[in-house]
Structures are given as structure tokens and as C-alpha cells.
Structure 1
Amino acid sequence: MAKDPLLTVLKLAQEAEEQAALKLKAAQLECQKRNAQLQALHSYRLDYMKQLTGKQGQQIRAEAYQQFHRFIQQVDTAIKQQNAVVQEAEQQKLHRQRYWMEKQQKRKAVELLLEKKAAAAEAKQLKQEQKMTDEFAAQQFFRRKLN
């Protein structure tokens, strides 16, 4: 019996789904990495603010205070930029998740077609076997009647 072309389609669908899953995993890892960087920036800012709070009651030169303020503004800018990077990574992850789900649906559809085709072939075979059994029984019945 010739190989069913749907098996080739299934193999291709499985490979596409696996590739999509790998890309999704990479996007998830990238998202985690970007979030960790954002958390590190927040933590760094908080630590720096605690240092200033620890210096309360002490005299701080105006120049040092201005430097501190500029530095905090730079960290805030970096946090805003990192927020944008995190949002972009989240969007990429969602896009890849949808793509993976599409590939998964296609694979499942091909599997369903193969199952239906196999069930139809089995039903056809059972019907043929039943027909042969009925014919055999009918022949035996007529032979007995003739004898």
C-alpha cells in the first residue's frame, strides 16, 4: 500500500510545531531576562535612595546633591527604556505563543483527519469481512438445503 500523503503533512506539521515551540521558549527566556534586568534597575535605584536617606541629618554639599539627582534621573530614564524593552519582549512572546498555538492546531487537525481516515478504512474492512461471512453462511445454507 502506498504511503499516505497525510503522513508527510503530519510530519511537516509536527516539525513546524516543534520549531514554533523552540521559538516560544526562547521568547519566554528573553522575557525573563529583560524582567530581571528591570528588577535589577529598580533594586539599584532603591539602594541608591537608601544611601541618600542614610545621609539625612548630615550636611550634603549642593554639588553632591545635584549629582545624586542627575544620577537618579539617569536611572529613571534607564528604567523607562527597560520598561519599553520588557513590553516589546512580552509582545514578542505573545506573538510566538499564538504562532505556536496555530501550528499545534494544524498538527491536531491533520492527526484528526488521519484518525477519521483510519476509522473509515477499518469500517470498510469490517463491512467487507461481514459481507464475506454472510456470503459464506448463505452458501453453506443453500448447500445444506440441496443435500
Structure 2
Amino acid sequence: MSQSKYTFLIKLAEDKQAAAAERMRQAQAKALEAMNRQEQLENFRDEYRGRLTSGGMKGMSIAQWQDFQKFLGRLDEAVRIQQGDTEFAKQRFIMERQAWRNEHKKLKAYEKLLEREREREQQAQARREQKATDEFATRRFWDQTHGED
């Protein structure tokens, strides 16, 4: 059987799917990293807020309380920024996953076309073989009935 026109397309689709899978893997890793960073920032902010509360109960100067409040404000801002980064990373992962799915669908479509082409070739070969068998049987019958001497 000769090489199909779909073989080249399948190879290209496999390469594109592999590249999309790698981009998806990287996007997933970045999303997980961003989520972990956000969780760490939130935990640190909560710890710091707890220290402010316990320090306030023990008594602290106005300057210390203002420093705590400033730093807490910076932590809140860092958490807000990280939430945006995390959301962006999640959306990027979703986009890359969809790109991989699209490439996967293309690959499966080309594979299905190749399968159908091979089935058509097999059917054509079977018809040729049947025709050859029929012709041989017809010649043999002809030869037997008309006596070839």
C-alpha cells in the first residue's frame, strides 16, 4: 500500500498536538505556582493580622500600630495583585487546554480519514480479487464446456 496523503497531515497534527500539550503543561505549572504563591501570601497576611491583634491587646505604640497597618495594607495589595496573576494563569491554562483539545480533534479527524481511505482501498482490492476469481472461473467453465483440445 502506498503512503497516504493523510500520513503527512497526521504527522503535522501529532507535532502540533505535542506542542500544544507542552504549552498546556507549562500553563498548568504556572497556574499551580501562582495559586501556591497566593496561598502563601494569604497565610502570611493572616499570621501578620493575628500578630497585630495580639500585639494590640498587649499594648503597642501608635507608631508601631501605624507601621503594622501600613505593612498590612501592602500585604493586602500584594494578595490582590497575586489574585489577578492567579486568575490570569488559570485562564491561560484553560485557553491552552482548549488549544490542545482542538489539535487533538484535528489529529483524530485525520486518523479517521486515513482509516476510511484504507477501508476503501481494501474494498477495492477485494473487488479486484473477486473480479479476477470470477473471470478465472468463467474461463475455466468456458474451457470445460467448449472443450479445449
Specify the TM-score bucket, using the shorter chain as the normaliser: over 0.9
- Matched residues in 1 for 2:98 and 2:90: separation? 12
1:126 alignment counterpart: 126
**Residue 144 (structure 1) shift:** 2.2
Per the alignment, residue 73 of structure 2 pairs with 73
Alignment match, 2:17: 17
Task: After superposing the two structures, state which structure 1 stretch, 105-114 or 43-52, moved more.
Answer: 43-52
Compute the displacement of 1:92 (Å). Answer: 1.1
Shift of 1:87: 1.1
Corresponding residue for 1:101? 101
User: 1:67 & 1:106 partners in 2: Cα distance?
Assistant: 58
Count the aligned residue pairs: 147
2:108 and 2:57 map into 1 onto residues whose CA distance is 68
CA distance in 2, matches of 1:70, 1:52: 11
Query: Could you list the per-position Cα deviations for residues 42-93 of structure 1 after superposition, in whole angstroms to 9, with x for gaps in the alignment?
Result: 1101111222333353112111111111111110000000011011111111
Q: Which runs of 5+ in 2 are unaligned?
A: none
Unaligned runs of 5+ in 1: none
Q: How far apart, in 1, do the equivalents of 2:57 and 2:17 lie? A: 62
Name the SS of the counterpart of 2:25 in structure 1.
Answer: helix
Mean alpha-carbon deviation: is it higher for 86-95 or for 20-29?
86-95
Q: Which runs of 4+ in 1 moved over 4 A?
A: none
Whether 2:138 is the aligned partner of 1:138: answer: yes
Report the equivalent of 2:28: 28
Give the counterpart letter for 2:116 in structure 1. Answer: K
**1:127 Cα deviation after fit:** 0.7
Letter in 2 for 1:10: I
Shift of 1:112: 0.8
Aligned sequence identity (%):
27
Choose 102-111 or 17-26, whichever is displaced more.
102-111
Matches within 5 A, 1:110-125: 110-125=110-125
- Tell me the TM-score normalized by structure 1: 0.93
How many Å separate the matches in 2 of 1:32 and 1:87? 11
CA distance in 1, matches of 2:127, 2:54: 88
